[in-house]
Chain A
Amino acid sequence: MIGRALRATLIALFLGAAAASAADSPSSAQPPGVLLSRQLAARARVSVGDVVTLAVDANGARGMMVRVAGIYEPTPDPMRFTAQRLEAHMHLPDLAALVADSADPAARELASAINVKLVDAHDAGPFASELAARAPGVIVRPTSRTRDDDPFAVLDRFHVAISAVTVVGATAFLLALMVIRAEERRDTIAILRLIGISRRSLLTAVAIEGLLIAVMGAIFGVIVAVATESLVNGVFQARYDTALVFVRVTRSIAVRSIAIALPLGLAAGIGASWPLLRGQILSLFRR
């Protein structure tokens, strides 16, 4: 099965465009199939069904005819998103045959790493321990990491810090906006208080207004984020030739944004209008 095939990153892979000559080969045996990464297929200008020469040597020595059985999109790896994914997947026996060198018996052991995909990813730890115990000298480690070891956890915390700074900045902006609005309505609030509209009523109105502004702002921000998500991903995916998703606005993010906006809007609305509600009525009137 291709899915269980050995994945080898072939450095200095020679991929000869031998499709025409291979097709004319009198041999009836079908060349072994190989899967090429989209990037490699594009670089070598080959497509599915082509028969090409694959070699471990950059000059094409000890090449092997293979048939391109399929082209796949490499699983995006955030750790290597800047690397060109020039990769091929092939069966282990075919790889062993490819790297075999009669002058160097050790050449068959060139495969330096094997990725094993488990049915249950949670078994990675016990599996790694057991394999390491059974095969001394082999370094076995799970690809999944604990939170503390994961470099993306650090990146995640960095994003949280950026978010916090953004929220503080947005709050200051919202507060400034509400203060300006409150000052614009200084006379209005003075009139309302003068004719007996209670502070509670005014405070309720101001709080509702702050909430509405905050919620509408948060919803607008989510809409802008969703709308620009494809653009940002498109630009960076093209820049690094990867399918890696750089930006994703999830439902959780949207809900959290609105949930944070609600109390902040409420606080900004009340905070901005508080001096006008507390002050002496007559002092509110502009001369």
Chain B
Amino acid sequence: MPVVEARRVTRLFPMAAGPIAALRDVSLRVDAGEYVAISGPSGCGKSTLLHLVGCVDQPTSGEILFEDRDVAVLSEAERSRIRLMRIGFVFQRFFLLPMLTARENIELPQAEAGAAAADRRARTRELLEYVGLADRADHLPSQLSGGEMQRVAIARALANRPALLVADEPTGELDEQTGEQVADVFDRVHADGTAILVVTHNPALAARASRRVTMKSGSLVS
């Protein structure tokens, strides 16, 4: 059963000199529990596809179905709710809130989802242990290393038990060894049944996926 499916999506960005096609007639399906890696050169449309699949952006044409719901007909509030409850995001630059501790960053989406305080605390403790940062709960992002920040970001992404984890270059700012640690966490997330769609230039990370696709000039080539 697909978690998300892109059907012949095209995404044009209007420019003064004329529209630029970031994606051309792309179709992609990610099933529940599947681990898919997208590779390709810079500017080939990987991140654009990720944004569409993650309900952050809308295609110019084609359809995005998330858990069989057409994203195009959903309101912004409904798309926001899907991002909150059903999708976890991990980015190259971590995007943790700098004024919040690791614990608070992880609790934030749970609070927005309406989880009780006791449940939030328990889930946050569980996630921090899951990513091996139980002792860093009260540290601010500025007090964490790059690898630690990325693991906190993964914990935050998993806070509301999403069906899909989307990751855009999650090891892009990490050294090889730290990237391996993050990849290990991804393996555990996959093993626990969460679907993963990762965009990466890192061959080692891509190699861990159960399916690899390559993009070039806005299209899937393999």
Contacts and interface: CB of A to CB of B under 8 A. Distances in A.
Interface in A230-287: 280-282
Interface residues of B, number: 21
Nearest to B113: A196
Interface stretch (B28-36, B73-81, B130-138, B203-211): B73-81
Interface stretch (B83-91, B178-186, B194-202): B83-91
A195 B89 contact: yes
A258 B84 CA distance: 38
Contact of B77 (A192, A198, A282): A198
Nearest to B47: A282
B43 to A, nearest CB: 14
B51 A198 contact: no
Contacts, number: 49
B51 A282 contact: yes
Interface residues of A, number: 16
Given A191-B95, A191-B97, A282-B51, A198 B80 contact: yes
A198 B81 contact: yes
B109 A195 contact: yes
A194 B77 contact: no
Contacts of A199: 76-77, 80
Given A281-B56, A282-B51, A195 B84 contact: yes
B84 A197 contact: yes
A95 B36 CA distance: 110
Contacts of B87: 196
Q: Is the interface of A mostly helix, strand, loop or mixed?
A: helix
A82 interface: no
Most buried by A among B80, B81, B85: B80
Contact of B57 (A187, A196, A282): A282
Contacts of A59: none
B81 A196 contact: yes
A187 B56 CA distance: 15
Most buried by B among A188, A192, A194, A280: A194
Nearest to B156: A195
B112 interface: yes
A191 B109 CA distance: 11
Interface string A192-208: 11111111110000000
Interface of A: 187-188, 191-201, 280-282
Given A194-B56, A281-B56, 19 more contacts: A192-B97, A192-B108, A194-B95, A195-B83, A195-B89, A195-B156, A195-B157, A196-B80, A196-B84, A196-B109, A196-B112, A197-B80, A197-B112, A198-B77, A198-B80, A198-B81, A199-B76, A280-B57, A282-B51
28 contacts: A187-B95, A188-B97, A191-B96, A191-B97, A192-B97, A192-B108, A194-B56, A194-B89, A195-B84, A195-B89, A195-B157, A196-B80, A196-B81, A196-B83, A196-B85, A196-B109, A196-B112, A197-B80, A197-B84, A197-B108, A198-B77, A198-B81, A198-B84, A199-B76, A199-B77, A200-B77, A282-B51, A282-B57
